[in-house]
Amino acid sequence: MKKVQCDVLVIGGGPAGGITAITAKRHNPEKEILLIREDKEQLVPCAIPYVFGDILGSTEKNIASCAPVENTGVKTMVGVVDEVSIEDKKAYTKDTQISFDKLVFATGSTPFVRAAMSEAVKLEGVFTVPKCKEKIDQLKTYVDTKQQITIVGSGFIGVEIGLEFAKSGKEVTIIDGAEHMLHTAFDVELASQAEELAEKAGLTLELGNYVDSIEEENGIVTGVGLRRGKVIKSEVVILATGYKPETDLAKKAGLKLARYGGIWVDEYMRTRNHDIFAVGDCAARRDFITREPSKVMLASTSVSEARAAGSSLYKIKYIKGFNGTIAIFSTMIMDRAFASAGVTEAQAKIQNLDIVTGTFEGMNRHPATIPDAVKQSVKLIAMNHSGRIIGGQIIGGPEVGELINIIGLLIEEKVSVYTLMSLQVATHPLLTAAPTNYPIAKAAEIISKKME
Ligand SMILES: Cc1cc2nc3c(=O)[nH]c(=O)nc-3n(C[C@H](O)[C@H](O)[C@H](O)COP(=O)(O)OP(=O)(O)OC[C@H]3O[C@@H](n4cnc5c(N)ncnc54)[C@H](O)[C@@H]3O)c2cc1C
């Protein structure tokens, strides 16, 4: 068995592993950092939906470059770690023993399939959406010659993939037991707008309806039976029903897991053993506002955790660690951008938070006669007594992709509506809403009037 030695071993080359390794090297240039990853070619996971349509068209156009990691002096190796001995500080692949001083689990997540679907997933024509190039290529090749596609799950991954297939004229149905699409990120009045657009784009939505059976003939899928009795003829079924933390290795090594199966970590991403860290989708998460365990899995969240871990391996450099996910996310449906951060009004009510909401609808250019002007609506959710912003949702043009990041900062920095009402912003007719109608400030103003 080959023997290798390093100071910091990072297991997993996704966004979390890569950024932990880069950050660790920047803070500890004298240390030897080794990143081991399973796949030689790593996909950019967030762009997987766009390999199915003509935006990217193939997985070859969606390969994450290793250069940013390797150029910083981090060593990389392709392989699978099968075993970790925490006591001996050693990890093993099939032919190599790696000794380490610090270890970071960045083993990510894999598709979650409900127990009731565990047999169905073995049928020809039934797929999940893993982040592995070979499997995405298999799915793409199979779907290319098929017409009737059914997707189970109306989260952003199911919707984004469905929209790409619909663009090439395929008949796409999305099924979800929830009454509304994207329901974890948007309140009903915004989710309904997303549904209207998705239907315009050619998707058939079966919401508030559960899968009862997967129909098959000779081991090949033929349809999906719904609880309300209907059968949807399907040549392909894609299960987009979420992801679960990949923690088999950590569990075998004796690490403590938290609710929803992620590796238990503190805010600096340390396990109880302060030489062992976990970051990204494999780590347990809490919600930033409610402090409840969270199932949110996002590359952006993973990278924030990676920066906190990478700078805290040997010494805690910054007092700010990772303090919970704000579930910040954005997507496009046709030419409209949808984005969300923090808690929704519905979630706030479930958590018994005393909140006030304000929605302002304006235009993203001024005056509204500017040729590319489109409607922009901002909904803010704030605490009733302090006015602290705890959530926001936006629909508009592409600028929404960055506007939501302002709301993310407001949430993380505990900003109140009073600060927002006199916020100084740069505005320009060709670039933004009018200063007189700046949507974030106007939504804050609406909230302040409603507050007790
Ligand atoms: C289709 C799709 C679209 C998405 N879109 C978005 C988006 O728009 N925005 C967003 O923020 N998030 C998005 N996400 C979520 C995002 O991709 C994940 O949150 C992110 O990939 C998590 O990063 P990670 O590094 O923790 O894990 P992963 O990306 O899962 O990477 C973990 C890596 O570790 C490797 N590994 C596991 N075990 C071992 C082992 N024992 N030895 C060696 N290597 C190992 C795996 O092979 C994998 O490559 C999307 C996800 C999918 C699937």
Structure-token match 């993310």, residue found: 408
Residue 41 in contact with ligand 1 by CB distance below 6 A: no
The answer to whether residues 6 and 102 touch, using CB atoms and an 8 Å cutoff, is no
Res. 47: pLDDT tops 80 = yes
Q: Which residues of 379-411 are buried (b: 16+ CB within 10 A; e: fewer)?
A: bbbbbeeebbbbbbbbbbbebbeebbebbbebb
Long-range contacts, 194-197 (Cβ 8 Å, 24+): 194/159, 194/333, 194/338, 194/395, 197/333, 197/334, 197/336
The answer to whether residues 282 and 265 touch, using CB atoms and an 8 Å cutoff, is no
Please state, for a pLDDT cut of 90, what percent of the chain lies above it.
96
Give residue-wise pLDDT tens across range 225-281: 999 889 999 999 999 999 999 999 999 999 999 999 999 999 999 999 999 999 999
Query: Can you tell me the mean pLDDT for 425-447?
Result: 96
Res. 300: pLDDT tops 80 = yes
Res. 452: pLDDT tops 80 = no
pLDDT of residue 356: 98
How far apart are the C-alpha atoms of 10 and 318, rounded to whole Å?
Answer: 21
- Indicate the residue type of 369: T
pTM: 0.95
- Indicate the residue type of 175: I
pLDDT of residue 201: 97
Q: Which residues of 344-357 are buried (b: 16+ CB within 10 A; e: fewer)?
A: bbebbeeeebebbb
Res. 113: pLDDT tops 90 = yes
Ligand 1 pocket, mutate which of 39, 77, 112, 281 (most atoms under 8 A from CB):
281
In terms of residues, how long is the chain? 452
Atom 39 in ligand 1: which residue has the minimum CA distance? 107
Q: Tell me which H or E stretch contains 78.
A: strand 75-78
What is the distance of C-alpha 141 from the center of its chain? 25
pLDDT of residue 68: 84
Residue 388 in contact with ligand 1 by CB distance below 6 A: no
What is the distance of C-alpha 286 from the center of its chain? 14
Distance 172 CA to ligand 1 centre (A): 26
Query: Can you tell me the mean pLDDT for 84-100?
Result: 97
Give residue-wise pLDDT tens across range 144-176: 999 999 999 999 999 999 999 999 999 999 999
Give residue-wise pLDDT tens across range 171-219: 999 999 999 999 999 999 999 999 999 999 999 999 999 999 999 999 9
Give residue-wise pLDDT tens across range 356-404: 999 999 999 999 999 999 999 999 999 999 999 999 999 999 999 999 9
